[in-house]
Chains A and B, each alone.
Chain A
Amino acid sequence: MKTFGGPALFLDRSDINTDEIIPAKYLTENSKLALKPYILEDLKLPGFDPLADTKEAAVIVTRSNFGCGSSREHAVWVFEVNDINVVIGTSFARIFRQNMFNCGMLAIELSEDDIDALFSLGGNVTISVDIDKETITAKGKREMTCSFVLNSFDKALVQAGGWLAYADKKY
């Protein structure tokens, strides 16, 4: 199983799409590692510097419908190779969400109130994730803990290390 948690990167916009996460021109790479420098390259947010701001990050906190658009799993791999194994938002596009769990990574859905609270913690925020208890704890200037729901199949994928390992045993 992967490790989950660490410094958080806040992306304060809904509908961040796969082309912003990893532009199509990099889809000609045949290794996941080659994607590393291009993380969030086309995402334009005030003051956001993709390379500098993702350097320490291990968790992304965002708004709704994250990962909409293309089916490209590159949008998950580019996080994976940058050691970001958790994305937290109010909702995800279906294919992106499935790709996360298929890679043994976590797409965590929280209520709008909890996401608002995370965004207003202040300071440098570090987030830890307890998969068994289905809770996250975030520490910034203030601290908060909130719970999430992980469906049993998604949890099994994360514990198995992804869908291929799970499916190979079972089907």
Chain B
Amino acid sequence: MTLLVVENLNKNFGGVVAARNVSFSLAAGEILAMIGPNGAGKSTSFNMVGGQLRPDSGRVLLAGQDITGLPPRAVCRLGVGRSFQVAQTFLSMSVQENLQMALIAHAGRTRDMLARSSALYRDEALALLDQVGMAKVADRPMGALAYGDVKRVELAIALSGAPRLLLMDEPTAGMAPAERAALMRLVAGIARRSAIGVLFTEHDMDAVFAHADRILVLVRGEIIAAGTPEDVRANPEVQRVYLGTSGLRAALRARAAAHG
């Protein structure tokens, strides 16, 4: 069944159109990429799905339930995990405590004033860290990690609520090329295994064409093209406004590398 349905989302910022009639859908286990030049409205559309922004009009349905305009915490509780463009973690805590915190939140125990938080969900936290290959640094302070590792921990946090949908805003931004590929492989693997739908935005065309099942192309707030990587690559409009010839070559290379 369709996991996420987005219908005719619109958003204006003081007269500037950030999203116009954005519609798409996403099935469980599917990986959908959203691309477009800077200022195309990717983050806006993204944040309207995640609850950070309220659309002017339109609907967002998660597994048939209307989640339009719900705050992020409510969206989260309905099974949506997300990561941010600039990784957001709890810097004062250790890596493991970050995960413990997330698990405490998912368990609805954040108002608990009696238990000792450091003793809760230790094993579950380690298991999640293990999934992203970070178990070995569980005791390190979050602030001491390299950025690539922070991104992995953030992924673990996003997965901690056993989400149905994963929203990832530029998951590989700020990472070294080798790390990027590894992270995307990790995400793709988890998504396929657990049948999690993934919606991500990305500037790195290698990542997009290597892993996305379908691609949406946004320009000035509008979807100008949607389809499989092959469809999108072949779309002359996309080539003209966005990909360009060099971008296209890069995309072909990426596809070849991922499957080669």
Asked if A and B bind, the verdict is no
